Amino acid sequence: MKLTDNVVRNYRVAKIFRENTDRINRIDFSSDGNTLISSSDDDSIVIYDCQNGTPKKTLNSKKYGVDLICYTHAVNTALHGSTKVDDTIRYLSLHDNKYIRYFPGHTKKVVSLNMSPINDSFLSGSLDKTIRLWDLRSQNCQGLMHLPGRPVAAFDPEGLIFAAGINSECVKLYDLRSFDRGPFTTFKLTQDKDCDWTGMKFSPDGKLILISTNGQILRLIDAFQGTPLQTFMGFQNNKGIPLEASFSPDSRFAFCGSTDGRIHCWNTETGVKVAVMNADHPGPIQCLQFNPKYMMLASACSNMAFWLPYIDD
């Protein structure tokens, strides 16, 4: 089955889970698409089985809190940020709920955490105005960049370069093998006066970069030239909060949640809004991702919703 405008319009909520008592702050699919992991402000980590549509396991991190959870390449381990005690990043075995390693260094809240698509490297960005490059095998930071403002960062799908968004006005691209020499290219964009960049993602084909904000606008730029391609608007964000935006696996569609519980979808080539999907989420949809292997979408406020295309016979 191929994703088309019509298929996207026929997505419906297949299942709603109410495992959490507070906002879900991050979701991440495993690379094989079989499971989804979530972290919540209620200090819990929930793992879902995507094929059966059931919660599989719940772990708690009452001491440190849990934020920005993401899978590593081993399916039973994950990384997460902390909401209590300090701003250390923690490497967790999901099998026995024990910490494998701690990554100290950031002095303020970590707002960006990304695993390399190809190896054990990961990137973290913090309100202490630094981006750090790490390796899972060592608690020592492998590289450190000081920035003039809040960072957002992302790996490209091949794991060879990463993009850093600086001060909500420029994107710098770094080669991972020589990033201490500085960026190999910089794209300057017009600054949005009334919002800040809060997220950044490369499209799965590596050709596009999607920038999400805490306002009512998303930007799509060319990943090679930095040319602005599309501006996506018309969704509600009246709380000034970060709303996650994501690509479909074929890079043809971009999705974003809203504070009124709806999901908006645009065609990345034409910029046309394809669908507005009503999710009946009681709170703002701050987490939204497409399954990398199956035709499934997940959206979350304090509830988690799994979406599937509904096809009339």
In this prediction, residue 264 carries a pLDDT of 97
Q: Are 35 and 289 in contact (CB under 8 A)?
A: no
* The total number of residues written for the chain in this structure: 313
Is residue 62 pLDDT above 80, yes or no? no
CATH topology of domain 5-309: Methylamine Dehydrogenase; Chain H (2.130.10)
Q: What percent of the chain has pLDDT over 70?
A: 99
Question: Beta partners for 163?
Answer: 154, 173
Residues 6+ apart with CB under 8 A from 184: 173, 174, 175
Mean pLDDT within 141-167 = 91
Q: What percent of the chain has pLDDT over 90?
A: 79
pLDDT tens per residue across span 64-88: 788 999 999 987 999 988 888 888 9
In this prediction, residue 312 carries a pLDDT of 62
- In degrees, rounded to 5, the angle at the alpha carbon of residue 196 between the alpha carbons of residues 191 and 202 is 90
Reported confidence tier of residue 63, pLDDT bands at 50, 70, 90: confident
Per the prediction, the chain carries an average pLDDT of 92
Residue 262 has φ and ψ, to the nearest 5°, of -110, 160
Distance CA 158, CA 95 (A): 28
Reported confidence tier of residue 300, pLDDT bands at 50, 70, 90: very high
In this prediction, residue 313 carries a pLDDT of 45
In this prediction, residue 230 carries a pLDDT of 95
H-type alpha helices, the chain: 5-9
Mean pLDDT within 170-189 = 90
Residues 6+ apart with CB under 8 A from 193: none
Reported confidence tier of residue 61, pLDDT bands at 50, 70, 90: confident
Kindly state the tokens that stand for 286.
């701050």
Q: Is 186 helix (H, G, I), strand (E, B) or coil?
A: strand
Is residue 280 pLDDT above 70, yes or no? yes
Q: Higher pLDDT residue, 311 or 271? A: 271
Q: Are 103 and 88 in contact (CB under 8 A)?
A: yes
Is residue 311 pLDDT above 80, yes or no? no
With the C-alpha atoms ordered 58, 63, 64, 67, is the resulting torsion angle positive or negative? positive
Mean pLDDT within 246-262 = 95
What is the model's pTM? 0.93
Mean pLDDT within 99-112 = 92
Q: Are 264 and 273 in contact (CB under 8 A)?
A: yes
In this prediction, residue 247 carries a pLDDT of 97
Distance CA 230, CA 222 (A): 10
